[in-house]
Amino acid sequence: MRILVIGGGAREHALCRSFSLDPEVTEVHCAPGNAGIAEVATVHTVDALDGDAVAALAQDPRVAADLVVVGPEAPLVAGVADVLRERGVPVFGPSAEAARLEGSKAFAKDVMAGAAVPTARSYVCTTPDEIDTALDAFGPPYVVKDDGLAAGKGVVVTEDVEAARAHALGCVAPGADGEAGRVVIEEFLDGPEVSLFAVTDGTTVVPLQPAQDFKRALDADEGPNTGGMGAYSPLPWADPKLVDEIQQTVLQPTVDELARRGTPFSGLLYAGLALTSRGVRVIEFNARFGDPETQAVLARLKTPLAGLLHAAATGRLADFPPLRWSEDAAVTVVVAAHNYPGTPRTGDVIEGLDEVAAQDAPGAYVLHAGTKRDEQGQVVSAGGRVLSVTATGETLTTARDRAYTALTRLHLPGSHHRTDIASKAAEN
Ligand code: AMP
Ligand code: GLY
């Protein structure tokens, strides 16, 4: 099988790595990729938001993709998977209509209401009066979410009513296009968060293993929200029946509801959940693999990935054999650029990659996110999240130690990372 992956982060590096280790895969292509992906795949340039351009690349004889896997949300929301489907190219990723589950928080709430899926109570507001009524109705802590895509940064959770109000007013203020925005204000959910991914063909739903993400920039969950600073899997503290419960109460009803509406969801359904004192609640849905959870989850998946995603893309998941998982634990730690998640500094030289690749830090490997090669051929930073240092081990403690040992071999001036990824879970 020949595969084309769209995207260029550590999630896509993890996908390309899995494909490169898959005996059924003959060639891995990626666009736009990054410096690390270029070592396991042939990289191409493409405007990832342009469906015609992506389809042309997929059908270019040099690529001749049997399967296209779309990594990030923006191309999905822009309808890239629709164009590929129209051209008869098997694609793993939902249509633009179904991707609204991620692209619009108000749409996601509507689908959940239709499917009786448990989530935070919420109001969708467009005016200052509606905003004040909603903030009063819930009280602190306030949860205020921009309706549209915001790369993990559109959500403010705060005790400060003025800060909540200011963010909400910013969300509804008319944008450059003159259109007023919408904001979702919702009930605060307490309890630990879990990310659960499911592969689906629009009918059959195959959950992967759960993971936990660390969204705040600093140790002890301090600092601003980010795209994610680290992850681990499995969750030793979770009830073994948790995945079945989420499958029955969240994943299958959501997939069924979208099919019922005539917009089936085929691809990766990502449920971000809070395990509250009153039960499981959906915090958000995403329409693609999570980053950095994918780095940890795929490190443990023994079933070859290409066949699984191809079965989903071609509507044949019902016949797919049960997934096989490694007993090992996996931990991934994100190395972020100076000033991430603000305006990250780029162009810093990354040192130590060869040492980790030479297994100077056994059991660990480095997945690249924002990296590229400069004119001298050196690998330099080119984005906010720069590397995902990933390791496996018999226990979370071993996997953690290996990831953090590998991290000591790496050097990126001004970078920062969390030192407490999986530390509490490893004590279980
Ligand atoms: P989202 O983009 O919806 O995933 O939100 C980003 C982060 O904000 C989540 O991972 C949570 O940590 C936090 N968050 C979102 N919604 C809620 C909520 N209703 N209650 C508490 N925390 C929330
Ligand atoms: N890790 C959070 C996300 O992928 O949205």
Please check the confidence at residue 88 and state whether its pLDDT lies above 80. yes
Please check the confidence at residue 362 and state whether its pLDDT lies above 90. no
Please give the pLDDT value at position 152. 52
Ligand 2: residues with CB < 6 A are 152, 213, 227-228, 286, 290-291, 293
Cα 418 to ligand 1 centroid, rounded to whole Å: 19
Q: Would you list the domain boundaries of the chain?
A: 2-93, 121-186, 189-326, 328-428
The half-sphere exposure of 291 on its side-chain side, counting CA atoms within 13 A, is 28
Mutate to test the pocket of ligand 2, among 270, 388, 421 (most ligand atoms within 8 A of CB): 270
The chain-wide mean pLDDT, for the chain, equals 95
Q: Which atom of ligand 2 is nearest to the CA of 152?
A: 5
As its CATH architecture, domain 189-326 has 2-Layer Sandwich (3.30)
Global pTM reads 0.94
Is domain 121-186 classified as CATH 3.40.50.460?
no
Please give the pLDDT value at position 359. 81
Distance CA 158, CA 176 (A): 27
Q: Which atom of ligand 1 is nearest to the CA of 190?
A: 21
Q: Which atom of ligand 1 is nearest to the CA of 283?
A: 16
Residue 235 exposed, middle or buried by CB count within 10 Å (0-12, 13-18, 19+): buried
Give the start-end residues of each E strand in 204-288.
205-207, 212-213, 216-218, 222-225, 230-233, 267-276, 279-286
Distance of CA 275 to the CA centre of its chain: 19
As its CATH architecture, domain 328-428 has Alpha-Beta Complex (3.90)
Question: Comparing C-alpha atoms, which of 47, 51, 45 is closest to residue 30?
Answer: 45
Cα 236 to ligand 1 centroid, rounded to whole Å: 22
Please report which ligand is nearest the Cα atom of 156: 1
Q: Which residue has its alpha carbon closest to ligand 1 atom 16? A: 283
Please report which ligand is nearest the Cα atom of 290: 2
Distance CA 266, CA 254 (A): 12
The mean pLDDT of 336-343, rounded to a whole number, is 96
Please report which ligand is nearest the Cα atom of 213: 2
Please give the pLDDT value at position 106. 87
Q: Which atom of ligand 2 is nearest to the CA of 11?
A: 4
Please check the confidence at residue 87 and state whether its pLDDT lies above 70. yes
Q: Which residue has its alpha carbon closest to ligand 1 atom 13? A: 157
Tokens linked to 132:
């004040």
Please check the confidence at residue 369 and state whether its pLDDT lies above 60. yes
Please give the pLDDT value at position 179. 77
Cα 210 to ligand 2 centroid, rounded to whole Å: 13
Please give the pLDDT value at position 331. 98
Please report which ligand is nearest the Cα atom of 105: 1
Is domain 2-93 classified as CATH 3.40.50.20?
yes
Q: Which residue has its alpha carbon closest to ligand 2 atom 3? A: 290
149-200 pLDDT tens trace: 665 558 889 999 999 999 999 999 887 777 778 899 999 999 999 999 999 9
Cα 325 to ligand 1 centroid, rounded to whole Å: 29
